[in-house]
Amino acid sequence: MLPLLICILIGAEVGLGLGLLSAPDPQATARIQVVPDPSVSGNLPDTSQANRFVQGEVLKISGDDLQEQAQNAVGGAPALSITATQVESTDVVEVTVVASTADEAVQLTQALIQAYADGREQAFDQGIDASLAVVNGQLTSLAKSSAPRSDTGLEYTRLLAQRNGLQLARDSRQTAVPVILRPRVVEQSRWPTAVRDAFVGLVLGGLLGLVLKLLVDRSSRRPGEAPRSWS
C-alpha cells in the first residue's frame, strides 16, 4: 500500500501547488438601484409588482444584448462572464463581470450599466411617444365629431389632462439608474481553486498508483501464481 499512498500524496501536493500558483480571472462588481419608471398617473407599484420588475431587469442586465453593447463600447473586449443578482428582496442589483484583466472588468461593468441606463431611457421615451400618439388621435377624432358638445366636453377635457401629464412626464424624466456601489475589482481567494485542484490531483494520483500496482503485479507474477499485495 505504501507506493499507492505515495502516488496519492504526490498527486494531491502537485494539484495544490498548481492551484495556488494559478491566479483567478479578475472580476469587478457594482451595485445599482433598479426602480420602475415613473407612472403618469402617479400610482406607485406595490411590493410584489416592484419585486417582479427587479427580477425582470436582472434577466435583462445579464442578457446577451447588453453584453454585446458593453463589449462594443469598450472596443470589443470580451467578458468571460456577466451575472446580475438581486440583493435579497430590495431594489438593488449587484452586477459582476469577469474579464481577462482587471481594467477590462471595470470598463465592461461601467459600459454595461451605461447601456442598461440608455436602454431604460429609450424605452421610456418610446412609451411616452406611443401614448401621446394615441391621445392626440383621440383628441382629433373628438374635434371632428358631430356629437353634442355636452357629450364630448368631459372626454375632451380628460384627454387634454392626460396629454399634459404625458408631456410633463417626458419633460421631467427621471429614469437615471443610481449607482449604489461604483465598479471595483474584487480580490478572489485562490484557496477554493487550490482545494479543488488538490482533490483532482489526489484522485489522479490514486488512479496512477492503482495502474502501476496492476502493471507491477502482472509483470512480476508467474503463471498460475496468485497476485501479490503491496506492503
Note the pLDDT tens digit of each residue in 103-142. Answer: 999 999 999 999 999 998 888 888 888 989 999 998 888 8
Does the pTM surpass 0.85? The reply is no
Nearest CA-CA partner of 194 in 8, 22, 3: 22
Distance, CA of 94 to CA of 83 (rounded, Å): 8
Distance, CA of 215 to CA of 205 (rounded, Å): 15
* Overall average pLDDT of the 76-104 stretch: 89
160's torsion region: left (phi>0), alpha (psi -120 to 50) or beta? alpha
Check whether 162 has a pLDDT greater than 90.
no
Q: Please measure the distance between the N-terminal and C-terminal CA atoms of the chain and give it in whole angstroms.
A: 5
Which residues, other chains included, contact 61 with Cβ-Cβ below 8 Å and sequence gap of 6+?
A: 82, 84, 93, 95, 112, 116
Give helix 102-144 / helix 64-73 axis angle, nearest 10°.
Answer: 120
Average pLDDT value for the chain: 77
Q: For domain 25-187, say whether CATH 3.30.70.1130 is its number.
A: yes
Amino acid identity for residue 89 in this structure: S
Distance, CA of 230 to CA of 48 (rounded, Å): 66
Torsion angles phi and psi, residue 119, rounded to 5: -65, -40
DSSP letter assigned to residue 62: T
Residue 194 pLDDT class (50, 70, 90 cuts): low
Q: Which is more confidently placed, 146 or 186?
A: 186
**Of 44-48, 171-175, 197-201, the least confident:** 197-201
